[in-house]
Chains A and B, each alone.
Chain A
Amino acid sequence: TGSCFLSRCVLEFLYSSSKRTDLARCGNGLKSISRTQIGCLYKKPFVESFEETPLWVAVLTYMGYGILTIFGYLRDFLRHWNIEKCHVARERDEQKDFVPLYQDFENFYTRNLYMRIRDNWNRPICSVPGAKVDLVERVTRDYNWTFEHTGKVVKDIINMGSYNYLGFAENTGACADAALEVTKMYGAGVGSTRCEMGNLDIHEEMEQLVARFLGVESAMAFGMGFATNSMNIPALMGKGCLILSDELNHTSLVLGARLSGSTIRVFKHNNMQSLEKLLRDAIVHGQPRTHRPWKKILIVVEGIYSMEGSIVRLPEVIALKKRYKAYLYLDEAHSIGALGPNGRGVVDYFGLDSKDVDIMMGTFTKSFGAAGGYIGGKKELIDYLRRHSHSAMYATSMSPPVAQQIITSMKIIMGEDGTTLGADRLRQLSQNTTYFRRSLHEMGFIIYGNEDSPVVPLMLYMPAKIGAFGREMLKRNIGTVVVGFPATPIIESRARFCVSAAHTREMLDTVSRLIPFLTFSLH
């Protein structure tokens, strides 16, 4: 396992160094569209940066992982011979002769690397996940194998981890009051599916509002964002169809594509040349082996990619889609409400027509402070989904207070509640994003992503820094999210900040002042 691990690291490094140069060149020449035409597609400058990993950093990171792997082997050996106490849960004695449920090497990474820094994740909170949050204090006496709650609460941690882009995670205000009323009237649960007895009037009202918000003919909402992707892509695509999916698409999109039974081809992240090449090859050569023409081609992209902070090159994707007659599925989980002058997402940000996107999907968890997902598009599409979506037939419909939260927050963003609260928050978010990114950039840190994206990944690279950064920030009352392998490539571990409209300038200053101090001490 260790050797597999290391060889995989080397391959990834070699691949990633080629990946970075491609990104630098992308958008430079699509076969069907000239360079001047591409320039006209964008109404404002599209600035993204993905700096290459410096060589010495990469070498040190691999060395770090190598040392951890060696120690992992050593600890496994000690545990096997009972020299070290084994905290890993064991199989029942009656089932000892069954085929083992887990292969040892599958959990090598979990046991030996993840466990060491496990306290940076799953931190329990006990307040609203707003700009400041209260954490439940927990201690571990056996190096993260078990946690105990001391009973104390750590108050007022600046929350840079929750997806609270417009600050709708609040327990007071118009949204909370409306949700209270609805809970009193309807209760919390529903008890039936949409097509049987679970279609409430509040669901219909919410769907009409979502359609108006997005500027599409019709929309349909589902109880879980993940399930929206994994249950509706199979309803739309089947055998004989082709799905072209971005390299860094979310797990739900990958699962939906796999469950549909279509052929999946992956193009390089946000790389329009790669996408065009795939499209041309697909149409010219048809299905593999039989060479029959494809029934449908679907391009699946996201609005904002949550690990990279990059924004999809939507004008070029739409130009390609129109040229090659493919369909476009846009997953706006992070970008709806967070991008665009009116908060209508990445379509609004680029000033495009929402009718050009065939299937607009998004979630209500991030900018609306609720839960669930939606799909918007033409009336025929939504009618078809009402009849054929797995979720509508078999899954319980959305809870009424959650639906009400969506209605109220959407009305605020659209300005239909009579106040300017929505417009203020959108402006605040955009200002906060620009300010935060600029201050980090001026300090010389490597930040990935588009300059307008509220998701700010700060590169850490080395495995030891992941744990240290998370813990040190928490000691100074800042809650951050650190991500490592396997969510990111092995040498590109990062800390991810999610800027919110609820953050004040002082909070952002506190955070950005602390980072150079910390990184200096971590060095």
Chain B
Amino acid sequence: MFQKEVLFCFFSQAPAYHLILEGILILWIIRLLFSKTYKLHETYKLTEKEKEDLIEEWQPEALVPPVSKDYPTLNYDVVTGPPSHKITINGKDCINFASFNFLGLLDNERVKQKALASLKKYGVGTCGPRGFYGTFDVHLELESRLSKFMKTEEAIIYSYGFATIASAIPAYSKRGDIIFVDEAACFAIQKGLQASRSLIKYFKHNDMEDLERLLKEQELEDLKNPRKARVTRKFIVVEGLYINTADICPLPELVKLKYKYKVRIFLEESMSFGVLGDHGRGVTEHFGVNIDDIDLISANMENALASIGGFCCGRSFVIDHQRLSGQGYCFSASLPPMLAAAAIEALNIMEEDPEETHRLTFKLYFGFVFLYSVHNKLSFGICLKLVGVPVAPALHLELERSSGSRESDMKQLRSVVDYCMERHVALTLARYLEKEERFLPPPSIRVVVTVEQTEEDIQKAVACIREAASALLIS
């Protein structure tokens, strides 16, 4: 009764518009509560018959698109016999200016004998990854020899050169981290970057100012969000000697930038290991940089060391992590012991005879000078320019003026290569995956100067190239 009185007071004292508004609101709520809800997905629900029809109708694309028969890389050149200094390619005996056999160790007798001895002891395969009885004493010996040679604390071996840097980068850099990479980085590095899912920033090739600009921008970003910056790792990935452009990275400036902006450096030394430096220790020895300043050095043993596989070296703090998180190391079978033994012997030869690398450097200068003469215009409208620095063993010869179409450029260069092969000089076109490369290098012929080639060989090759160019490429 008391409540009824209170309510009656309330209703009589409230203003009219208030009551009307409340009344409308209540009616609206009642309507909403009892109206049929409009389910969006109901209109999209398909019947079983419709689903079957869709399944019947769907046609996938062909698994692979058709390949045109005259595409150059379809038919590989066949090498009969060992791919050493004198090579038999497509039935013709040539001098090899195409394999990365920089120190001529591919058919060295000592290396072969050691490989044979190892084969007689261990057989060929390892039948397991490193973790499960696939670690041989040869692997441990090679790792310790490599780390001693490079004067680092530890080294780790991979069974495939490509997989070395492609597994090393994602082991350290994850989603959310930042990597600064040179535009001319090789494909293996690009795959490593893709697998890492980090934020990638490219700087112009060998352009330290561009890199510094990017680093400064990142510094400003970090100031805005210091909490995030404290856990974001930053890396610079460069190559010692670039395979695509045959020049050297400016390592001292990079080390300065490293300490200024607190970025770690990963150095890829596949082309410069065994080539640069007084003892062949690579670009750090070449510039006299303290090797501890570089966080990780990665190289493959397929070039100067004439074996198969790759290695990473650096401080134990950095390298040991890869033993559990380097995918190409943990989940793959280990390197066959005979190839590890061949690498150890090649390393022995390199250490015993540092003159070998001096001889290589001399040859490289010699080769460069002669190749450069190709560049000199003999008649108007020539043809090829040399790309690279004198100490690079694998140089590129590009067309001076491109015709505009990559395919026709490649055809022209291929005709030069074929002409030279007829005259017993084996060259090769530098091959790239055109659709997959981020910054596709221009078409070129790769010329490799090794320590086994004599001066006559080099002169002959250069004369041959000049002849081919003037015969085939006069525009």
Contact = CB atoms under 8 A, between A and B. Distances in A.
Contact of A395 (B64, B101, B160, B338): B160
Nearest to B115: A188
Interface stretch (B11-19, B188-196, B458-466): B188-196
A204 interface: yes
B450 to A, nearest CB: 9
B245 to A, nearest CB: 16
B61 interface: yes
Interface in B289-340: 292, 300, 302-303, 305-308, 315-318, 320-321, 323-324, 327-328, 331-333, 335-336, 338-339
B365 interface: no
6 contacts: A129-B133, A164-B127, A224-B328, A284-B55, A371-B333, A381-B64
Nearest to A204: B78
User: Which 7 A-B residue pairs are closest in the complex by CB-CB distance?
Assistant: A224-B160, A384-B64, A199-B76, A226-B332, A191-B99, A89-B317, A395-B162
Contacts of A200: 78-80, 83
A129 B134 contact: yes
Interface string A359-385: 100011110111100000000110111
B64 A365 contact: no
A107 to B, nearest CB: 8
Interface in B75-122: 76-84, 87, 89, 96, 98-101, 105-107, 111-112, 115-116, 119-122
A223 B339 CA distance: 13
A396 interface: yes
A393 interface: yes
B121 A110 contact: no
Interface of A: 89-92, 94-95, 97-103, 110, 114, 121-130, 133, 136, 159, 161-164, 168-171, 175-176, 179-180, 183-201, 204, 223-227, 230-231, 236, 250-252, 255, 258-259, 280, 283-284, 293-297, 324-327, 358-359, 363-366, 368-371, 380-381, 383-388, 390-396, 399-402, 405, 479, 481
Contact of B122 (A124, A127, A186, A295): A127
A200 B100 CA distance: 15
Given A227-B160, A391-B162, A479-B133, A191 B101 contact: yes
B306 A188 contact: yes
Contacts of B99: 190-192, 197-198
B342 interface: yes
Interface in B44-94: 46, 51, 54-55, 58-61, 63-67, 71, 73-74, 76-84, 87, 89
Given A124-B137, A224-B328, A284-B54, 4 more contacts: A91-B317, A171-B121, A200-B79, A296-B63
Nearest to B324: A110
Give the most central of B66, B67, B123, B333: most A CB within 10 Å.
B123
A184 B321 contact: no
Nearest to A370: B125
A255 B163 CA distance: 12
A97 B308 contact: no
A164 B231 CA distance: 44
B195 A259 contact: yes
A176 B123 contact: yes
Contacts of A102: 321
Nearest to B428: A196
A252 B194 CA distance: 15
A438 B308 CA distance: 42
B133 A194 contact: no
A369 B123 contact: yes
Given A187-B112, A252-B331, A325-B59, A162 B127 contact: yes
Interface string B128-163: 101111111101100000000000000000011111
A98 B262 contact: yes
B374 to A, nearest CB: 21
Nearest to B222: A99
Given A121-B132, A227-B160, A293 B58 contact: yes
A161 B315 CA distance: 31
Contact of B336 (A168, A381, A402): A402
B27 interface: no
Contacts of B159: 224, 371
Contacts of B426: 197
B230 interface: yes
Interface in B198-255: 229-234
Contacts of B51: 280, 284
A280 B58 CA distance: 11
A294 B59 CA distance: 9
Nearest to A327: B63
Given A250-B331, A380-B66, A401 B98 contact: no
Give the most central of B81, B125, B131: most A CB within 10 Å.
B125
Interface in B321-377: 321, 323-324, 327-328, 331-333, 335-336, 338-339, 342
A176 B55 CA distance: 53
B124 interface: yes
Contacts of B321: 101-102
Nearest to B88: A201
Given A170-B123, A284-B46, A197 B428 contact: yes
Interface size class of B (residues with CB under 8 A): 35 or more
Give the most central of A225, A390, A396: most B CB within 10 Å.
A396
Given A236-B63, A251-B327, A387 B79 contact: no
Contacts of A122: 130-131, 135, 323
B254 to A, nearest CB: 15
B431 interface: yes
B230 A127 contact: no
B396 interface: no
Give the most central of A170, A188, A294, A364: most B CB within 10 Å.
A188
B55 to A, nearest CB: 5
A86 to B, nearest CB: 12
Contacts of B87: 197
Contacts of B338: 183, 188, 401
B115 A183 contact: yes
A384 B67 contact: yes
Contacts of A396: 161-162, 300, 302, 308
A187 B73 contact: no
Contacts of B120: 171, 176, 180
B335 to A, nearest CB: 8
B391 to A, nearest CB: 19
Contact of B306 (A103, A191, A296, A384): A191
B265 to A, nearest CB: 11
Contacts of B332: 224-227, 252
B239 to A, nearest CB: 14
B432 interface: yes
A283 B60 CA distance: 10
Contacts of B123: 128-130, 169-171, 175-176, 369
Contacts of B259: 94
Contact of A280 (B55, B79, B82, B317): B55
B264 interface: yes
A154 to B, nearest CB: 13
A344 to B, nearest CB: 20
A483 B294 CA distance: 35
A259 B191 CA distance: 8
Given A121-B132, A171-B123, A192-B83, A295 B61 contact: yes
Contacts of B84: 187
A201 B162 contact: no
Contact of B132 (A98, A162, A199): A162
Contacts of B339: 188-189, 399
A400 to B, nearest CB: 8
Contacts of A92: 292, 315, 317
A196 B133 CA distance: 35
B306 A189 contact: yes
A163 B128 CA distance: 6
Give the most central of B59, B60, B335, B338: most A CB within 10 Å.
B60
A395 B66 CA distance: 24
